[in-house]
Amino acid sequence: MYKKVFISYAKEDIEYAFEIFEFLLENKYDPWLDKKCLKVGQDWDFYIKKELRESDFIILLLSNVSIQKRGYVQREYKLALDYAQEKLNTDIYIIPILIDDCSVPEELSKYQWERFDTKGMLEKILVSLNYQREIYLNSTPNKETALNDYTEKSLKLGLDLTNNINFTCKVPLFKENKFFDSEFMNSYVDYIAYNFISEFRKFLLEDNYLTYKGKQELDNYSIEINYYINYLTPHGISILFNSYSNLGGPYPNTEIRTLNVLFYPNRQTYLTDILIIDDLEEFLKLNIKKFVKHEVLREIMISNLSYVNEKNLDFLVNTEDIEILLHNHLPHVAQIGSSFKIPFENLNFKNG
């Protein structure tokens, strides 16, 4: 809900439109671009008007070509302005992006615009979309909130000494809905994210670590915490959290966490809660031998199983299999191939 973004452009500026389209897809929006979405044989005039009318947001790519070009692009500008009259003055609806040094048309000048070549331009678009979508969702009755109508929020590292470190932390923010307890879910998500953040704070403050580093070196440091929702149904959710850090060591560090929650009532779920497993280590060993094809990797996985227990075993649920992730228990050399999938037909589920 509230994810449809129409991208208007002149054909000479198509490469810029493609870049925005792909970025929005990666960030869980539903962009519409004629060159990407129209099917052979469709009435293009009908579908362009339909998608423009039904979109929640409109991105206008402005250039010296597009603002002076007669034809369809001008019609899209005018239709966007007509539909904007149905919005509140405070709503973000039309987002103008300048590709070059063109003059913004007078009728669009009241909208805050951004240059395409501005650092972080795509992220700025995302911030605006998320901000307005949050407003829309907060005004939507709970019973109308769809299952996947979550938004996103950013958390801070919270250390004054680390202003020069490139830090990002994005986590899902679930809205109140009829499917599950959003407060419960958001509390768990924050707990996982702040566990990551706490470890980074501890590392950076330990033995006055930062006082030995100059500003120039800190500028090359980065910490990223992100998430991916692997599975979401009215029965439960499976989320992967990933942290990546480059803090001056010989190689970057990565760590993962997974969160699996069953609804009715909401409760965090471990693998042994949903599968009949007599001995976890033996269960993992047998499935590694069966589903990990690389011999060396297979042996490394098996040799590190003594560190695994039901509380620290990460896994993801999908529609056809369960993926076991041993990333945190393996040496760096083996982390790239640290997961394997077990098809449902090879698993013995509890309660049928």
What was the pLDDT predicted at 269? 93
Mean pLDDT of 189-206: 90
Q: Exposed (0-12), middle (13-18) or buried (19+): which is 147, by Cβ within 10 Å? A: middle
pLDDT, tens digit (0-9, with 9 covering 90-100), for 213-265: 555 555 678 899 999 999 999 999 999 999 999 887 777 889 999 999 999 88
Please state, as a whole number, how many other Cβ atoms lie within 10 Å of the Cβ of residue 227. Answer: 19
Residue 47 has pLDDT above 90, yes or no: no
pTM above 0.75, yes or no: no
DSSP states along 305-334: GGG--TTT-EEEE-SSEEEEE-GGGS-GGG
What was the pLDDT predicted at 24? 93
pLDDT tier for residue 321 given thresholds of 50, 70 and 90 = very high
Average pLDDT, rounded, for the chain: 86
Residue 141 has pLDDT above 70, yes or no: yes
The side-by-side arrangement of strands in the sheet containing 236-246 is: 151-154, 166-173, 222-233, 236-246, 253-262, 267-268
What was the pLDDT predicted at 221? 80
Percentage of the chain modeled with pLDDT above 70: 93
Q: Tell me the CATH class for 270-352.
A: alpha beta
Write down the domain spans for the chain. 4-134, 141-252, 270-352
Mean pLDDT of 311-326: 93
Query: What angle (nearest 5°) sits at the alpha carbon of residue 205, between those of residues 202 and 211?
Result: 160
Q: Which has more pLDDT, 251 or 150? A: 150
What was the pLDDT predicted at 211? 57
pLDDT tier for residue 120 given thresholds of 50, 70 and 90 = confident
What was the pLDDT predicted at 79? 84
Q: What's 6-55 look like in SS3?
A: EEECCHHHHHHHHHHHHHHHHCCCEEECHHHHCCCCCCHHHHHHHHHHHC
Residues 96/57, Cβ–Cβ less than 8 Å: no
> Residue 3's closest CA among 34, 28, 37, 39?
28
What was the pLDDT predicted at 203? 83
C-alpha to C-alpha distance for 188 and 173, rounded to whole angstroms: 11
According to CATH, what is the number of the domain 141-252?
3.30.565
C-alpha to C-alpha distance for 329 and 307, rounded to whole angstroms: 7
189 beta partners: none
3-state DSSP call for residue 228?
Answer: strand
According to CATH, what is the number of the domain 4-134?
3.40.50.10140
pLDDT, tens digit (0-9, with 9 covering 90-100), for 66-97: 777 655 567 787 888 888 888 888 889 999 99
